[in-house]
Amino acid sequence: TKGNRLVIEAGAKTDMFRDPNVTYNTDNAPKLLFRTSEDFVLTTCLSHRFINKWDAGALVLKLDSLNWMKFAFEKDYKGKKRVVSVVTRNISDDANSIELTADSVWLKMARAGNVITLYCAADGRNWLLVRHFQFAPGEIQAGFLAQSPTGNRCTVVFSSIRYEQKTINDPYTAE
């Protein structure tokens, strides 16, 4: 870390995914996690170089090895820069969202009880609701991840990190 910046470098063949075809299950991507039991909002600006397919940086929630979520900015299967969310309850889903041209995006994750809401923004102000779902109540871990499933490395910079213990009132406005 340096100032309000966190850098995580993922090595080769690092990922966090439980394939619906049950052919690929791994959780070896480097992460920095902290425990939380309160409602919160976690915001960051995330950037990386998008060198290899599925290189990504992400915000993460984790209950245990079979119940977790990652909200990522990754190089997709077509070589595009895309916001992606994966919710895992034994098996992962894989929900692709908007495509961006920039090397950075703002991500926001809000927890209110057992409901998680995910947002992205190009400018850190005009938030788009990406996903709204139920997750495990009680104490969980939240944090940051880098991955490089098909490459040799992916260095992700998380900047403007902000963690607030608060409850959002309106999931559509992120406030």
CA dihedral defined by 8, 37, 62, 105, rounded to 10 degrees?
Answer: -50
Answer whether residue 162 shows pLDDT above 60: yes
Q: Is the pTM of this model over 0.85?
A: yes
Give the pLDDT band of residue 111 (cuts 50, 70, 90). very high
Q: Which residue has the higher pLDDT, 136 or 68?
A: 68
Q: What is the mean pLDDT of residues 4-17?
A: 96
Cα 7 → chain centroid: 15
Question: What is the DSSP code (8-state) at residue 49?
Answer: -
pLDDT for residue 2 is more than 60 = no
Q: What pLDDT, in 10s, does the model give residues 56-67? A: 999 999 999 999
DSSP 151: S
Spell 43-56 as b/e; 16+ CB within 10 A means b.
Answer: bbbbbbebebebbb
* Angle, vertex CA 75, rays to CA 28 and CA 26, nearest 5: 20
CA–centroid distance for 132 within its chain? 14
